[in-house]
């Protein structure tokens, strides 16, 4: 497979939030290079009748193909980390140790949540991590908190 600058741009310039202006500029370049940008500013055409002229039917087909491809490129260039971090953080914060559960099993579960958050590039300092784990313990461990 040869070098494809479009895939390089999509891979290297994911939308993370703060980089929106640079990301949009790169997306404009990609969509222009692939000849799909027109569908982002031209209105959606009405579906032509079966007996419509060939050029109308072809334009309709081209516009919808460009729209589909533009959506794919845009979605591919967006980072899913933010949503994934929120889900992982929610799972961590909502995990509570059930009474009678072995402490080892609960702490391993909490460590798993913390590892997932770390992989997703969310930052929690050690003291905060310990605090979250202590708050998640059952009432029988209150003396340790």
Segment 83-141, tens digit of pLDDT: 778 888 999 999 999 999 999 999 999 999 998 888 777 888 999 999 999 999 998 88
The domain tally of the chain equals: 2
- Cα 97 from Cα 142, distance rounded (Å): 12
Q: Assess whether 85 and 139 both reside in one domain.
A: yes
pLDDT band, residue 5 (cuts 50/70/90):
low
φ and ψ at residue 2, rounded to 5 degrees: -80, 175
Q: Assess whether 14 and 72 both reside in one domain.
A: yes
Tokens 């770390």 found at: 118
pTM score of the predicted model: 0.52
Q: Assess whether 72 and 99 both reside in one domain.
A: no
pLDDT tens profile 15-65: 776 788 888 888 898 899 889 999 989 999 999 999 999 999 999 999 999
Q: Assess whether 22 and 71 both reside in one domain.
A: yes
State yes or no: pLDDT of 1 exceeds 50: no
- Parent domain of 116: 81-144
Q: Assess whether 38 and 12 both reside in one domain.
A: yes
- Cα 104 from Cα 29, distance rounded (Å): 52
Q: Assess whether 71 and 46 both reside in one domain.
A: yes
């Amino acid at each position: 497979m040869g070098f494809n600058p479009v895939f390089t741009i999509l891979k290297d310039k994911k939308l993370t939030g703060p980089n929106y202006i640079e990301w949009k500029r790169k997306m404009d370049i990609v969509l222009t290079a692939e000849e799909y940008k027109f569908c982002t500013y031209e209105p959606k055409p009405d579906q032509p009748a079966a007996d419509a002229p060939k050029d109308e039917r072809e334009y309709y087909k081209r516009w919808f193909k460009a729209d589909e491809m533009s959506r794919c490129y845009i979605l591919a260039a967006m980072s899913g980390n933010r949503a994934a971090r929120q889900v992982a953080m929610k799972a961590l914060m909502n995990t509570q140790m059930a009474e009678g559960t072995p402490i080892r099993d609960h702490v391993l579960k909490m460590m798993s949540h913390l590892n997932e958050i770390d992989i997703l590039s969310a930052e929690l300092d050690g003291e905060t991590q310990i605090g979250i784990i202590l708050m998640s313990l059952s009432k029988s461990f209150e003396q340790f908190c």
